[in-house]
Amino acid sequence: SLKSYENTQNALDTNLNKRTKSIYTPLELQFIEMKKQYKDAVLCVECGYKYRFFGEDAEIAARELNIYCHLDHNFMTASIPSHRLFVHVRRLVAKGHKVGVIKQMETAALKAAGENKSSLFSRKLTALYTKSTLIGEDILFKQLDDSVDVEEVTTDVPDNYLLCCCENGENLRGRKKGDIVIGIMAIQPTTGEVIFDCFRDSASRSELESRVLRLQPVEIILPSRLSDESEKLINSITSM
């Protein structure tokens, strides 16, 4: 029927690379769907005994990790061995990238014994790493082997604080222009340490500056609305 034909055409259009007019592979389609959810992350996709990068992620990995990148079907691709994952994740994070680890949810043995042995491995995001959240099973030291140099994985910032701040400039008695009440909270995920404070600051933001410089956070979470004075100060600190 005409409706059935149109549905088939829509499915084909979804699976077709409009630039090259070639069909996406099932793995490429799976990557495309995952990338839509995590657009700002470099995704490492588990494929058997290695992790693969696709598209722009592969080009970033090739540049930052000094590995080979080549065209495979519709995407540029690069790969790393599974046992070296945590080393490369740390290197990418150290360069300022957010890194997502996509793992296979099925083992080859279980899949071979199941009814869906000819289908694609199911995969999902199991970890998302940034400079302040570099913790998890993939980067534990217990995974070190003889081929890994300890210095490769012990170069992190000692106090990798994640800092969040918010402001309230309303209902301040005797308020001067630029005065504001600021609340901050800093956490260190690796140790569980939490630091919080609330204080009144002047237009120079000297109190905020002293706390940020003291904590030296590796990441800062800001509210959607921030005063010009605070934004200027934070921009000057982070640019250093």
Domain range list for the chain: 23-139, 162-239
Reported pTM: 0.70
Confidence of residue 191 (pLDDT cuts 50, 70, 90): confident
Specify the CATH number for 162-239; select among 3.20.10.10, 3.90.650.10, 1.25.40.10, 3.30.420.110: 3.30.420.110
Q: What is the pairing mode between strands 75-81 and 70-72? A: antiparallel
Q: How far apart are CA 14 and CA 24, in angstroms?
A: 9
Contact 31, 44 (CB under 8 A): no
| pLDDT > 90 fraction of the chain, expressed in percent and rounded | 48
What pLDDT sits at residue 50? 94
Which distant-in-sequence residues (6+ apart) come within 8 Å of 212 by Cβ?
163, 220, 233, 234, 237
What pLDDT sits at residue 134? 81
Using the predicted structure, report yes or no on whether residue 41 has a pLDDT greater than 90.
yes
First vs last C-alpha separation in the chain:
65
Where does 40-84 have alpha helices with state H? 56-65
- pLDDT tens digit sequence for 83-133: 999 899 999 998 989 999 999 987 766 666 666 666 788 899 999 999 888
What topology does CATH give the domain 23-139? Answer: MutS, DNA mismatch repair protein, domain I (3.40.1170)
Distance of CA 208 to the CA centre of its chain: 27
